[in-house]
Amino acid sequence: MSKLWQKNNEVASAVEKFTIGNDQAMDQYLASYDVLGSIAHITMLSEVGLLTVDEMVQLKKALVEIHQTIQDGEFKLAPGVEDIHSQVELLLTSKLGDVGKKIHSARSRNDQVLVDIKLFLRAELIQLSASVNDFFKLLQTKSEAHKNDLLPGYTHLQLAMPSSFGLWLGAYAESLVDDMTMLHAAYNVVNKNPLGSAAGYGSSFPINRTRTTELLGFESLNFNVVYAQMGRGKAERITAMAMANIADTLAKLSMDACLFMNQNFGFIQFPDTLTTGSSIMPHKKNPDVFELIRSYCNRIKALPNEIMLMTTNLPSGYHRDLQLLKEHLFPAFSQLKTCIEMASLMIENMEVKKDLLGDTKYQYLFSVEEVNKLVNAGMPFRDAYKKIGLDIEAGKFNYTTEVNHSHEGSIGNLCTSQIADQMKIIQSKLGADKVQACLSQLLK
């Protein structure tokens, strides 16, 4: 089958196979967004006089029908079709004849794929933010529920000071606030319109790029047409970094959970239905879910560096290297969302061990508490520190398990509502409702 770019010469089959690569599968991710970009483009073309109203109506009707087949899961690229752009144009041409060919006026496959990727990334970031927000709320709920259940705190994996399950879970909730700050930054980079930059050098047609920006619900333009093309790879890398931060939070939480489930710790447990067994050891209850979350998330943490290296030393302008960025980034969204869902399932069903710190093996967790009591009684801190240290060495250390921490963010003052307010502010800035309204209007 001929290609959009092909003239009279046939391309060697080995070259064709190699250059297309895995694009057919990856373009399935972009299918609905390619159609949305085309609807915005033809709407603008008709408004500037490059399409008649009748041509625009015919094209839009056909494109909306194609979009519906995509939503219904019935759309696939035909064998031999190079990419999503070719498939859509093929369908339009077979249905509308020469009118279908007019859809490509004033644009290139370069800016088509740019706008497709921006729309895809924007939609995925909105969905990811919702998943993160749900998990954040669960962590905060469990944090409040267990705020009075004490837990050993560690530094260097050595017993350090008293913590609590509330403090532990609340820490990961607040970590997600910072992760969402980075996600919002990625969203701001992604939410700019590259359509109309054509092959990266603009067009001599009198197109209206501000109009397509409005139609697609973008916040602004990538104004400079060369930079619009240079932004490919950069937007993906910044998005991958935002995902990597969320993945890092999940991986660390999973590592904690694996340790805390260990019988030598015995801090938390889960229903048998959420753990796995051994083929030889009948007593085993393995934390496979957390181990797989950890591994998936550590792989996602490698994505920014992978994208950085794949785009290293590329000059300005389009290069086919950029095609390969899709292959690991696109599937990573569903992997990360699945990890969040599974972490939520586990935390929702987690049981914590009560009265952990009553065991004398945790007695030295309270050494700082005893030092502070002496300081409150008037003894200089260094003298109090030395006295308690000597008591420990002499086997004369006395303590109580009472903990009274009241400052902001401590065991007794988790600041849950203040942290929740920070998350609400970030969530409100994403503008998901505006985006949905614009795209729904576009399909009418």
Q: Does residue 437 form part of some domain?
A: no
pLDDT in tens, the chain (444 residues): 445 545 556 667 788 777 777 777 888 999 999 999 999 999 999 999 999 999 999 999 999 999 999 999 999 988 878 889 889 999 999 999 999 999 999 999 999 999 999 999 999 999 999 999 999 999 999 999 999 999 999 999 999 999 999 999 999 999 999 999 999 999 999 999 999 999 999 999 999 999 999 999 999 999 999 999 999 999 999 999 999 999 999 999 999 999 999 999 999 999 999 988 877 888 888 899 999 999 999 999 999 999 999 999 999 988 988 899 999 999 999 999 999 999 999 999 999 999 999 999 999 999 999 999 999 999 999 999 999 999 999 999 999 999 999 999 999 999 999 999 999 999 999 989 999 999 999 999
Q: How far apart are CA 205 and CA 46, in angstroms?
A: 12
In-domain check, residue 427: no
Q: What is the pLDDT of residue 256?
A: 98
| CA Rg value for the chain | 28
CA dist., res. 261 & res. 264, Å (int): 8
Residue 191 lies in a domain: yes
Instruction: Specify whether 193 is located in the same domain as 266.
Output: yes
Amino acid code (one letter) for 226? V
- E-state strands within 31-143: none
Distance in angstroms (rounded) separating the CA atoms of residues 322 and 235: 12
Q: How far is CA 38 from CA 133, 198, 441, in A?
A: 32, 13, 14
pLDDT at 5: 45
128 and 91 in a common domain: no
**Separation in Å, CA 324 to CA 34, 197, 215, 289, 301:** 18, 21, 29, 30, 18
CA–CA dist 161, 330 (Å, integer): 43
Residue 272 gets which letter from DSSP? G
How many of the other CB atoms lie within 10 Å of CB of 272?
9
Q: State the chain's maximal CA–CA distance in angstroms.
A: 94
* Residues 379, 337 share a domain: no
Question: For residues 60 and 66, what is the distance between their CA atoms, to the nearest angstrom?
Answer: 10
Same-domain check for residues 289 and 172: yes
Q: Which secondary structure element, helix H or strand E, spans residue 72, and what is its range?
A: none
Domain span including residue 266: 109-138+152-354
- Output phi, psi for 80, to 5 deg: 90, -10
- Distance between CA atoms of 249 and 343, rounded to whole angstroms? 11
Q: Are residues 289 and 377 in the same domain?
A: no
Residue keyed to tokens 């019935």: 74
Cα separation, 36 vs 84, whole angstroms: 12
Which residue reads 């001599």 in tokens? 204
Distance of alpha carbon 292 from alpha carbon 276, whole angstroms: 12
pTM comes to 0.93
> Helix 288-301 to helix 234-261 angle, to the nearest 10 degrees?
150
CA 214 to chain centre: 25
Residues 67 and 121 in one domain: no
Query: Can you give the pLDDT at residue 79?
Result: 84
Tokens describing residue 229: 């093309």
- 261 with 175, same domain? yes
Note whether 324 and 242 are same-domain residues.
yes
DSSP 183: H
Residue 10: the pLDDT is 64
CA 316 to chain centre: 28
Is residue 425 one of the residues assigned to a domain?
Answer: no
Say if residue 375 is in the same domain as residue 348. Answer: no
SS3 269: strand
Same domain? 63 vs 132 = no
The reported pLDDT for the residue numbered 400 is 94
Residue 74 DSSP SS3 = coil
User: Any idea what the CATH number is for the domain that residue 248 is in?
Assistant: 1.20.200.10
* Total domains in the fold of the chain: 3
- Residue 148 pLDDT: 96
Identity at 139, one-letter amino acid code: L
User: Does 289 lie in the same domain as 361?
Assistant: no
Distance CA 409, CA 404 (A): 13
Helix (H, G, I), strand (E, B) or coil at 353: coil
* Main-chain dihedrals φ then ψ at residue 191, nearest 5 degrees: -85, 45
